[in-house]
A and B are shown apart, each in its own frame.
Chain A
Amino acid sequence: MGKTFSKPEALTDAHTHYCPGCTHGIVHRLVAEVIDELGIRENTVGIAPVGCAVMAYNYFDCDFQEAAHGRAPAMATGIKRVRPDLMAFTYQGDGDLASIGMGEIVHAANRGEKFTTIFINNAIYGMTGGQMAPTTMPGQRATTAPAGRDVEATGMPIRMCELLSTLATPGYISRQTVLKPKYVNKAKKAIKKAFEYQKENRCYSFVEIVSTCPTNWGMTPLDSLKWAEDTLLPYYPLGEFKTPEE
């Protein structure tokens, strides 16, 4: 019998520190597979966020930089401006990207920087223990919103794909998820497209992945998949929001 399963070359042998049922690991694998398939590992620089994926550099086997909280898009800008021949991707959570790093992501996208962002929207601050994120759903409980998110006081959750799609600069903006196997293939296709646009020096590319955080949602992995599908997907619809062809 031939080999039926192998680890992408772009992943190291390290065991991840992610909780059981967390979707960070699946997304790592998809990104690594795309890097392998495009044969770009030796020319790629990843930028880790501050969030649960802060140690993503232990899992991806390519050059890596570790950013400050929210600043990965500015670092990727620095990389691509001085070394346009390299491939760069940022991997960021929703607190990192949509709260503290909102300025950096919007301006990088608007300049049409030729890098790729993988945006993990799990509607919570995972790493710091379940505080409210800009993406937390109305009524969703968080340690800093113990009675549930009060939209009168904190506004409605921010939809990043919709927001970035309003920019007039051409870009690739897509929202996907990995909650079920049928979604995983689509998510991988979008990630591959995003890297291809970068490789062709076409545009900025952004793939949001609606994700889970069973630990801080206080749910079992299975319940969190269901909750995400029932609650997050209606508010965060999947699909391509913008392509450079438009």
Chain B
Amino acid sequence: MAKVLMKGNEAIGEAAIRAGCKNYFAYPITPQSEVAEYLAKRMPEVDGVFLQGESEVAVGYMIFGAAACGERVMTTSSSPGVSLMSEAISYIAGARCPAVFVNIMRGGPGLGGILPSQADYFQATKGGGHGDYRLLVMAPEGVQEAVDMTMKAFDLAEKYRGPVMIMGDGLIGQMMEPVEFPEDFTPTPMNNDDWATSGMATRGTDKRNLVKSLFLDPKQLNDHNLLLKAGYDRMRQEEVRYEGYNTDAEYKLLIVSYGTMSRVCKTAIDTMKEEGLEIGMVRPQTLFPFPEQAIHDAAAKESCSHVVSIELSMGQMVEDVDRCVKGQRPVTWYGECGGDIPTPEEIIDHVKSLLKN
């Protein structure tokens, strides 16, 4: 298929439909309302479901009810809305239902701002809702990757029977880029007769299914959590994705950065390379599972004297980077969190100042 020019938000909506998701529930919030506006038009064209819920709290449970029936379902929101959905995300994880959540992050805390941000890193990767659950979190660097990840998200949600989150930022949602949708993609939803509340008649059985997260017996709850953990451990084995940038070179310093921020870093790295200064980068494409080994090994390179985590937050991912580097090199944070994005020049200045010390 030829490339088309699309806004990130609209491309995510289209990608969901191409991935066989005909069910979308949402509540408007900047900077991602275009997904809802796009799907309000598109879903009826494919006999799909579009519903604007009364709040993100309600939307979270509309997603739960629909997902529990075994149907592919998605919602999109931005930071304050995702906070409200976090209760449902915990229940969905506990009840082991596949569902796709998209967070086009904006600045916080509180109402914060409406410009790009990556300040929900902790919320997405460390919890957000209550209890021992993890989200599989993917972070695209541009519109094409947002499409690819959205399409993959539904399969992953079914493979692990749990919620998957796409973490974009306001810029990815708002910018237009050429994208290509795979031509011969046939969605292949997994059979869910053993757990989904799709109606006994639908399944042709007299055995009913229960979707629940309540386990009052301590042994049962512990076993249930062990089952969830086994899934998260398997993600760590099978789903880690990252890009190494200029990592073949003898780099003096390693950057770890993701999403929009990593694209600015690439420009800075290219400029420094032209000047004869080699800088490498590991760009996590999955934030959970985190590319722990890749970052550990990249930091260990003999030429590398420093690791810096560059993020649109006040230093969240840096805690994971530090954990992976395991003291081999100094690890520091650089970034901004008001909505402005550091320029390549600012990154170059910062990198050079780190190398001077």
Contacts and interface: CB of A to CB of B under 8 A. Distances in A.
A63 B208 contact: yes
Question: In this complex, which of A75, A78, A82 has the most chain B Cβ atoms within 10 angstroms of its Cβ?
Answer: A78
A57 B198 contact: no
A66 B214 contact: yes
Contact of B200 (A41, A81, A107): A41
B208 A104 contact: no
B44 to A, nearest CB: 13
A76 interface: yes
Nearest to B201: A42
Given A41-B200, A79-B66, A107-B54, A65 B211 contact: yes
Nearest to B65: A78
Contact of B208 (A62, A67, A83): A62
Interface in A59-86: 61-68, 71, 74-79, 81-83, 85-86
Contact of B61 (A81, A83, A104): A104
A41 B58 CA distance: 27
B69 interface: yes
Contact of B209 (A63, A75, A83): A63
Contacts of A42: 199-201, 206
B71 A75 contact: no
A57 B51 contact: no
Interface stretch (A43-51, A178-186, A220-228): A43-51
A43 B213 CA distance: 22
Interface stretch (B87-95, B243-251, B261-269): B87-95
B23 interface: yes
A218 interface: no
Nearest to A67: B61
Nearest to B48: A82
A54 interface: yes
B16 to A, nearest CB: 14
Interface string A16-47: 00000000000000000000000001111101
Contacts of A81: 23, 25, 49, 51, 62, 66
B71 A83 contact: yes
B222 interface: no
A103 interface: yes
A107 B206 CA distance: 34
A103 B57 CA distance: 10
Given A42-B201, A63-B200, A82 B66 contact: yes
Contacts of A78: 25, 61-69, 73
Contact of A107 (B58, B88, B212): B58
**From B60, B208, B209, B211, residue with most partner A Cβ within 10 Å:** B208
* Contact size range, A: 20 to 34
Q: Is the interface of B mostly helix, strand, loop or mixed?
A: mixed
Contact of B69 (A45, A55, A103): A45
B57 A71 contact: yes
Contacts of A86: 69, 198-199, 202
B53 interface: yes
Given A62-B200, A82-B23, A77 B211 contact: no
A33 to B, nearest CB: 18
Contacts of A82: 23, 49, 66, 69, 71, 73
A52 to B, nearest CB: 13
A74 B199 contact: no
Contact of A103 (B58, B62, B64, B211): B58
A41 B201 CA distance: 9
Interface in A74-126: 74-79, 81-83, 85-86, 103-104, 107
A40 to B, nearest CB: 9
B88 A77 contact: no
Contacts of B212: 48, 57, 64-66
Given A74-B53, A74-B62, A78-B61, A65 B200 contact: no
B210 A63 contact: yes
Contacts of B293: none
8 contacts: A43-B199, A65-B95, A71-B61, A74-B64, A79-B66, A82-B66, A85-B199, A86-B199
Given A65-B68, A75-B64, 12 more contacts: A42-B200, A42-B201, A45-B197, A57-B210, A64-B212, A65-B95, A66-B214, A68-B87, A74-B60, A79-B197, A85-B199, A86-B198
Interface of A: 41-45, 47-48, 54-55, 57, 61-68, 71, 74-79, 81-83, 85-86, 103-104, 107
* 3 residue pairs, one from A and one from B, having the closest CB atoms: A78-B65, A75-B65, A74-B61
